[in-house]
Amino acid sequence: MFRTLKRDIQAALDRDPAARNALEVLLCYPGLHALYVHRVAHWLWNHHLKTPGRFISHIGRFLTGIEIHPGAVIGPGLFIDHGMGVVIGETTEIGENVTIYQGVTLGGTSLEKKKRHPTIGNNVVIGSGAKILGPFRVGDNSRIGSGSVVVKEVPPNAVVVGVPGQVTFRDGKRVPQAIDLEMTDLPDPAAHAIRGILERLQELEREVETLRKELPAPSAPFGHSPPSRSRQND
């Protein structure tokens, strides 16, 4: 238990520059409190004490503003920063060393009693306000941009931005095998598409101008000859 607590505190110290010491994290971080309430609720849920598990989960939601269903499976090293408004659904599965910011929803898209919430891989960072909806996987080492709405599979080492979320890769290169909390360098797929259209338009305009210069000068209309120089002088 103490080894687990130490690991959870260290996760906050490593990923939040505002965290000054272990005591501050232990007393003042609602994400840590919600995680430990969930572990109690999850144990009750797995031992067929469904209603007590839901009640413990409800108390945790009231105290922290973070709602984690007792059926959710959470791996080691989860860090919920700030956390207000975070919702983690019943069939959600979260891997190791995942970082979640405030306002994130890991939600379902079905009324059937089956797997309906996402599976989050290892070292994933989910920006504030992001919504991940559906029973698909978000690959390891991926980043979900703030405010994105993700409704389909995300490959490993990907960056997702937009509504609906578009999968991109940073500079077309593999993302380093580490937790990347940077949210200021996310690509903009819409701006990239508009830039491509403008570049193509400029290219077409240059081609049209070249063709216009290569065409012969238009001849006079049929039956009419251009006026002679002498008549012009008259």
Would you kindly state where each structural domain of the chain is located, as residue ranges? 2-191
Structure tokens at 122: 């290892």
Asked whether the beta carbons of 78 and 51 are under 8 A apart, the reply is: no
Task: Phi first, then psi: give them for residue 76, nearest 5 degrees.
Answer: -70, 150
Give the span between the Cα atoms of 71 and 57, in whole angstroms.
Answer: 10
Instruction: Give the model confidence (pLDDT) of 28-78 as tens digits.
Output: 999 999 999 999 999 999 999 999 999 999 999 999 999 999 999 999 889
Instruction: Give the model confidence (pLDDT) of 180-193 as tens digits.
Output: 656 556 666 666 67
Instruction: Give the model confidence (pLDDT) of 157-170 as tens digits.
Output: 888 888 887 777 66
Planar angle of CA 79, 23, 16, nearest 5 degrees: 35
The pLDDT confidence band at residue 90, using thresholds 50, 70 and 90, is very high
Query: Average model confidence (pLDDT) for the chain?
Result: 84
- Mean pLDDT (whole number) for 209-218: 75
- Give the domain 2-191 fold: UDP N-Acetylglucosamine Acyltransferase; domain 1 (2.160.10)
What's the pLDDT score for residue 109? 87
Asked whether the beta carbons of 115 and 137 are under 8 A apart, the reply is: no
